[in-house]
Amino acid sequence: IQLCKPAKVTMITDSKEDIAYVRELALINGEETKLKMEGHTIHFDGYYDQGRDKASTKYLLSKDVDWGIKVNSIEKEKGLKEMYSYLDGSMAGKEMLVRFFSLGPTNSVFSLKALQITDSAYVAHSEDLLYRQGYGEFKKLNGSSDFFFFLHSAGRLENGVSVDIDKRRIYIDLEENRVYSVNNQYAGNSLGLKKLAFRLAIKKANEEGWLAEHMFIMGVHGPGGRVTYFTGAYPSACGKTSTAMIPGQTVVGDDIAYLKKINGAIRAVNMES
């Protein structure tokens, strides 16, 4: 709060009223517009904010860590100094939304808790559509810091879209399970729970002996009512969603899967809702 300096801070619970408040705020702020079909809205990203910014997405690494030239990274102290300079006052005159989510089913050995702080009601609304609410899960933490943390600011806006694209930054701190994102709205850069959380989950899975994978999960219906579940790892834009949605089959997930060995068998969940 001291860094971003919002005019107002609102903590959103799992209640229907709070979730409806976020959706309405996206309309009031001009980030979304109603469509003729009841209950549907549309959001337009800025002209220069139409895709993931790979060049500005970097890992924050300590001075003694070297992952090689193939990994886009920045020295942690230097990166945080730059990020804080852009986040300083970034929410002035705006409302900070504090969101609580669960990646994977709640009350499950798969569930990962995720805290999203943002000044974009569009981002918060989008995450309500994609992920499970987790306010109740956070109440069980009892002071633990075992959760993912995402701080995002759309930055300075004109006509409802981010304009300081030259200062767009997405920095990932694997040591602290934190991601900082500023001066953007495009979902791949702004929604912490999507591919940014995936990177944190990969590290956590590697340390704990399970898998976080870019996979679909589906159930294929065979003779005699048999259903066989399997996962498929295709690169982006190569058919995960279309395969998972083959007519007559069961869709479990089309993007990211968590897999764990439970009682001698591999079990998988869709980390999205």
Q: How many CA atoms lie within 13 A of 4 on its CB side?
A: 25
* Active-site hit among 65, 109, 238, 245: 238
Ramachandran category for residue 259: left, alpha or beta (phi over 0 → left; psi -120 to 50 → alpha): beta
Positive or negative, the CA dihedral 89, 90, 92, 98 is: negative
4 assigned to active site: no
Query: What residues act catalytically?
Result: 238
